[in-house]
Amino acid sequence: MLQPQQRAPRLGVIALASTVGLIAALPLAAAVAGEDARLAAKAFEAAQPRQVRSGPERPASFCGRESTAPEGVSLRTCVRTQGDEVWARAAYRNATRSPLPAVLTLRGPDGRTVRVHCTLQGDGRHRTCETKRTGAREVRGEAAVREAYTAVAEVSSPEGERRWLRAGSNSPAVRRS
């Protein structure tokens, strides 16, 4: 049997070897876990219909496909509803390093529109722009709102002279029967 004085150096060597092994394995494990998480999130999103169910505090979203411009702007537009309120939201990422003008419009079943002018910050971060909330006129229920309301966002060049990107909540690729 080993004496306590003999065990201490061995335990120190074992602890040091374990620490070195853990330090060497952590970046690899983090990379694998991060990539797996990104792949799992993409697979989950692709398998889901473009509708998020609402709860008492959570709005429902009806979204179109994400659109991307070669200049470095990506945009996804949604109609959101909670209770008897409805509004439009554009989620964007602008990697151009220049602020860009955009217009977000919510169109209702009675021909009325709600419009907001947004400036898309050019910092490459994911951000949102929203219209004001309005009453869902004569339309009740998530399915009826999805059919009756549309959201459209248009992003222009920095000077505002030409349109770079347009995205809608009812894009044909994600419309369901």
Residue 119: which CATH number? 2.60.40.2550
Domain boundary among 16, 33, 48: 48
Q: Please tell me whether residue 169 adopts helix, strand or coil conformation.
A: coil
- 116 shares a domain with 73: yes
pLDDT of residue 48: 42
In this structure, is residue 105 part of a structural domain? yes
- 131 shares a domain with 72: yes
In this structure, is residue 109 part of a structural domain? yes
pLDDT of residue 47: 41
- 43 shares a domain with 61: no
User: Whole-prediction pTM value?
Assistant: 0.64
- 166 shares a domain with 144: yes
Whether 152 contacts 105, CB under 8 Å: yes
Q: Please tell me whether residue 127 adopts helix, strand or coil conformation.
A: strand
pLDDT of residue 54: 47
Domain count, the chain: 2
Look-up: residue for tokens 């990697």?
A: 95
Q: What separation in angstroms does the CA of 109 have from each of 59, 82, 169?
A: 20, 17, 15
d(CA 76, CA 166): 9
Domain boundary among 48, 67, 82: 48
d(CA 84, CA 140): 7
- 100 shares a domain with 69: yes
- 43 shares a domain with 80: no
- 124 shares a domain with 167: yes
- 122 shares a domain with 68: yes
For the chain, 177 residues long, give each residue's pLDDT as a single digit of tens.
556 566 556 656 666 566 655 565 545 455 445 556 555 555 444 444 465 444 556 888 999 999 999 989 999 999 999 888 999 999 999 999 999 999 999 999 888 999 999 999 999 999 999 999 998 766 667 777 778 899 999 999 998 888 999 999 986 433 222
Range of the domain at 127: 52-172
- 97 shares a domain with 66: yes
- 81 shares a domain with 4: no
- 82 shares a domain with 140: yes
Buried b / exposed e along 22-41 (16+ C-beta atoms within 10 A): eeeeeeeeeeeeeeeeeeee
In this structure, is residue 177 part of a structural domain? no
Residue 166 CB contacts under 8 Å (≥ 6 apart), including other chains: 67, 152, 153, 154, 155
